[in-house]
Amino acid sequence: MPPAHRTLPLLALALALSPALPARAADAPLTTVSERSGFVQTGRYDEVVALCAAFAQRYPDAVRCIDFGTTPEGRPMKALVATRTGAFTPEAARAKGVPVLLVQGGIHAGEIDGKDAGFLALRQVLEGDAAKGALDRQVFLFVPVFNIDGHERFGRWNRPNQRGPEEMGWRTTAQNYNLNRDYVKADAPEMQAMLALVEAWDPILYVDLHVTDGAKFRHDVSYQIEPVHAGDPALRKAGLALRTELVEAMRKQGSLPLTFYPSFVKDDEPASGFVDTVAPPRFSHAYFLYRNRFGLLVETHSWKDYPARVRITRNTIVDLLEQTARSGRSWLRIAGEADRRAEKLGGASVPLDYRTTDKTRTVDFLGYAYTRTPSEVSGAPMTRYDENTPQVWKLPLRDEIVPDHSVTAPRAGYLVPAAQAAWVGEKLRQHGIRFRRLDNALAQAKVMGFRADEASFSPRSVEGHQPLTLRGAWKPETREVAAGALFVPIAQPKARLVMAILEPQAPDSLAAWGEFNNAFERKEGMEAYVAEDVAREMLADPAVKAEFERRVREDAAFAKDPQARLDFFYRRHASWDERYNLYPVLRVDTAPGD
């Protein structure tokens, strides 16, 4: 059997404690509605507010209860700071060199295992029943619920493909943002508050607790961590060791963990297998590799019952507390070295995104017997699982991950024009990215400009944005840059994050989220009757005439499109908008003023 302090038997989880009687906070039991119900229910947010204060009052030497924001519906965003190092502020933690572990629950508030498991783990650690001495060597920053307004949209069927609790919150915020798509664009006030918390405390490990959807199978939890497949090489090695140790610890406690997200290549078709990948930085665990820190996505399996899921999540938190106590200072050293390497990325090739190759290997996946037969309801093939008949599925897994698009980092940095400086500057501040304002204009500046050969607007809205896909290249240009522009140096620890935000072809850049769409919309035109006259004048130039005739002869679509034929001449006319399809942000190889 595993050590008593490392595991939480289901029997103990199922014990319902007596409801708390009215008492002073210092004497009130630090148990949740969930624990008292035998992990059948989960409490409302007022319980989080009360417990946050109660933990701080019960353990004044080890816990502080803090507010780090306010939700759109006016609720306080609570976090518990737990440590016995005396480092109750970010400044104290940095001064003492103490690693910070941040664990958050309820980013998708229907997936609420993390809240109840986190309070349980914290109480046991404080009482000395788990991870003994771990708080002597770290700060444990616990956010019980991130999506608080969504948490209070309570209902029985908010997660119809999940077993328990009886009622739970909603996936998205009151403004209908999916917070786990918001780490880069940071539209939601909640995300802006979280980024401020992260920037203040600089956690070496950020843990995001979820419950997966999907098929019925026997695996009960998956762990995805970065850097492992991407990011700084030394951090990747340390991240792999962290994940390996976590998986081994959980196996010893009876879990069946995975190291990839168990979503089939083809929905509802187990035989199609799985693909592992590197997620873009809109997602929590991927975002942190761009900060040279560890991000861990924990996904318990929705078809396990709530007591089992809380037990697994609690065990995960305890193991991570123990790992951070043992290795946290080493992680800080490796991360600091990664920061210094990132400051030297100027001129280097840097991946913007990743792809999984077609190479496969066969894995033993612990599933159940199943059939696929036509549905009398939908008419489509439907998978039915027999949970009484375990099977081992031999499935293909594609997990060879390579960079997809890479670009050479600017040698000096980026210039954000004065017209865009206010809002882009605010976005950079949210991520803790350094920049400076240019007090003087740059005349005839030698820069690199990105002109789109093709700009494709998404036909549908995503998170309130119209995403944009650009094809083009950076090329040398000479431009006037007005005073008030921002210079964003590449020589900073968050260089990868700078590129993720400002490179126009990065998957979660400001451009990709449609923030610069105006630059790729035509705002002026030439009437056809004017263009006809202009065209006839231009055809007097033999070179223009030859090029036009070649296009008509070789490009059938061009030949059949009257507007395209007129635009051939308009684009060569002095009235053409030279800024059309020019990405507003520029790159420079020499810092302004140097």
pLDDT of 577: 81
Question: Does residue 348 fall inside a structural domain?
Answer: no
pLDDT of 27: 57
What is the distance in angstroms between the CA of the first residue and the CA of the last residue of the chain?
65
Question: Does residue 9 fall inside a structural domain?
Answer: no
Q: State the average pLDDT for the chain.
A: 94
Mean pLDDT of 261-289: 96
Q: Are residues 540 and 439 in the same domain?
A: no
**Does residue 295 contact residue 208 with C-beta atoms inside 8 Å?**
yes
Give 471-496 pLDDT, tens digit per residue.
Answer: 999 999 999 999 999 999 999 999 99
Adjacent-strand bridge partners of 451: 473, 582
Question: Does residue 7 fall inside a structural domain?
Answer: no
Question: Does residue 590 fall inside a structural domain?
Answer: no
Q: Are residues 413 and 362 in the same domain?
A: no
Contacts of 179 (CB under 8 A, 6+ apart): 107, 108, 146, 147, 172, 173, 188, 190, 191
Domain count, the chain: 4
Question: Does residue 587 fall inside a structural domain?
Answer: no
Q: Are residues 284 and 396 in the same domain?
A: no
- The span from the CA of 259 to the CA of 223, in Å, is 5
Give 133-157 pLDDT, tens digit per residue.
Answer: 999 999 999 999 999 999 999 999 9
Peptide bond just before 507 cis, omega within 30 deg: no
Give 156-170 pLDDT, tens digit per residue.
Answer: 999 999 999 999 999
Peptide bond just before 99 cis, omega within 30 deg: no
Beta strands 413-416 and 486-489, pairing class: antiparallel
Question: Does residue 184 fall inside a structural domain?
Answer: yes
Question: Does residue 291 fall inside a structural domain?
Answer: yes
Give 387-411 pLDDT, tens digit per residue.
Answer: 999 999 999 999 999 999 999 999 9
pLDDT of 15: 36
At 457, which amino acid appears? Answer: F
| Longest CA–CA separation in the chain, Å | 95
Q: Are residues 169 and 277 in the same domain?
A: yes
For the chain, give the percent of residues with pLDDT over 90. 91
Q: Are residues 336 and 441 in the same domain?
A: no
Helix residue spans in 152-232 (DSSP H): 189-201
Residue bearing the bigger pLDDT, 15 or 390:
390
Give 349-369 pLDDT, tens digit per residue.
Answer: 999 999 999 999 999 999 999
Residue found by looking up tokens 């328990």 in the block:
164
Mean pLDDT of 552-558: 95
Category of 315 on φ-ψ map: left (φ > 0), alpha (ψ -120 to 50) or beta: alpha
Q: Are residues 392 and 414 in the same domain?
A: no
Q: Say if residue 337 is exposed, middle or buried (CB neighbours under 10 Å; 0-12, 13-18, 19+).
A: middle
**Does residue 427 contact residue 510 with C-beta atoms inside 8 Å?**
yes
pLDDT of 76: 98
- The span from the CA of 248 to the CA of 250, in Å, is 5
- The span from the CA of 349 to the CA of 339, in Å, is 17
pLDDT of 294: 98
Q: Are residues 105 and 122 in the same domain?
A: yes
Q: Are residues 118 and 249 in the same domain?
A: yes
Q: Are residues 363 and 437 in the same domain?
A: no
CATH number at residue 233: 3.40.630.10
pLDDT of 4: 37
**Does residue 257 contact residue 222 with C-beta atoms inside 8 Å?**
yes
Question: Does residue 479 fall inside a structural domain?
Answer: yes
Q: Are residues 336 and 366 in the same domain?
A: no
CA proximity to 587, closest of 344, 341, 342, 409: 409
| Domain of residue 390, residue span | 355-403
pLDDT of 6: 38
Q: Are residues 306 and 213 in the same domain?
A: yes
Instruction: State whether the Cα torsion 173-178-180-186 is positive or negative.
Output: negative
pLDDT of 540: 94
pLDDT of 219: 98
Whether the pLDDT of residue 16 is over 60: the answer is: no
* DSSP class of 142: E
* DSSP class of 496: H
CA proximity to 258, closest of 399, 145, 376, 388: 399
Q: Are residues 49 and 137 in the same domain?
A: yes
